[in-house]
Amino acid sequence: MGTKLWSTSYYVLAASLAVLFLLPLIWTGYASVAPHGATNQQVGYGFGNYASLLEYDAGLLRYLWNSTYTSVLTVAFTLALSIAGGYAFARFSFRGKDTLFLLTLAILMVPYSTLLIPLYSMLGDLGLRDSLTGLALVLTLYQLPFAVFMMRISFEAVPKEIEESAMVDGAGTFGILTRIMLFSVWPGLITVGLFSFLAAWNDFIAPLILVSSADKAVLPVAIANLRQQSMGAVDFGATQAGVVVMALPCLVLFALLQRHYVRGFMSGAIKG
């Protein structure tokens, strides 16, 4: 086979696959603003579907707030736990260290659905059912294995000499953590923050089960409900506008933080 033929067929294949992967994304953006008789954007291009989303039930802004609150809280919980835990696992020895680390990784072995049934019951006893804070705690649980693992290897990669010289100067372990270590592990922090934000922002089954009030719905659940309601007639235009609203932050974060994405996957691959 000639090199030129090989190269041409390579680019034809690669480009057609790229079209197939991009097409649905381009279509949803188009469908959310294009005119269609069955939607709130009847004539000409415009934002009629987004307008109907703004007014749907509790309103788009409410759902945006619910999703943002839950995601930010999940990131905060995950970072706080994994910074303290990762530091402990990387730099200290204490009783039960290996057991606790394995137990944390074992969360990955238990399916989400298995834990959601008892968690539904437990959150009720704790007064955290139908609460976005309770939801954020549950979402944190599933971020913990990756986050603790990531922060442990990040802290382990920091040279010990930096710490030792600070210790000679009389700094305590907490001072070393907050004034020195955190600056050295910031790529790990961004990766953990990015992944926990995306996981919380996109999660569907946990909020579906744990949060029942309509005005506390997060975006994915609200948009899925929108599709089911209004007497059998589905508002497809508003649904696609909702998809765009949900997808935009994910695409922006991807564009800004590409390197950290791959970093996260790589540590996953090494772990396997």
Partner 1 sequence: MRHSRKLAGALYAAPVAAFVLVFFVAPLLLVGRMSASDWPLLVGDRGINLPDNYAGITANPLFWPAVGFTLKYTGIVVVILIGLSLLLALIVADRRKGTGFFRSAYFLPTTLGLASASLLFYGFYSHAIGPLDPLLEALGMEPVSWLGTPTAALWSTVVLIVWKFAGFFMIILLVGLQSIPPEVYEAARLDGANRWQSFWHVTIPLLRPALGLVLILSVTGSLLAFDQFFILTKGGPDNSTVTVVQLIYREAFQRFDLGAAAAISVVVLAALLVLNIVQFRALRKDA
Question: Buried (b) or exposed (e) across 194-203, using 16+ Cβ within 10 A?
Answer: bbbbbbbbbb
Token match 């564009």: residue?
255
30-89 residues in contact with partner 1 (CB under 8 A) are 31, 36, 38-39, 80-82, 84-85, 87-89
Stretch that binds partner 1, among 53-61, 68-76, 108-116, 183-191 (CB under 8 A): 108-116
Contact mark string toward partner 1, 192..231, x via CB under 8 A = ------x--xxxxx--xx----------xx-xx--x----
Q: 51 and 236 in contact (C-beta within 8 Å)?
A: no
d(CA 194, CA 190): 6
Amino acid at position 6, single letter: W
Single out the segment in contact with partner 1 by CB under 8 A; choices: 58-66, 158-166, 183-191, 249-257: 249-257
Q: How far is the CB of 54 from partner 1 (least distance, A)?
A: 18
Binding mask 165-194 for partner 1 (x = CB under 8 A): --------x---------------------
Q: Please state the φ and ψ torsions of residue 157, each to the nearest 5 degrees.
A: -80, -10
Stretch that binds partner 1, among 50-58, 68-76, 178-186, 240-248 (CB under 8 A): 240-248
Yes or no: say if 35 and 45 are a contact pair by the CB < 8 Å rule.
yes
Alpha-carbon separation of residue 102 from 91, 108, 147, 184 (angstroms): 17, 10, 14, 25
CB 48, CB 111: distance < 8 Å: no
Place of tokens 């294009």: 34
Give the residue with the Cβ less far from partner 1, 62 or 263. 263
* Identified binder of partner 1 from the candidate list 122, 162, 166, 182, rule CB under 8 A: 122
Q: Contacts with partner 1 in 141-160 (CB under 8 A)? A: 141, 144, 148
Q: CB 215 → partner 1: shortest distance, Å?
A: 19
Piece in contact with partner 1 (CB under 8 A), picked from 57-65, 68-76, 184-192, 236-244: 236-244
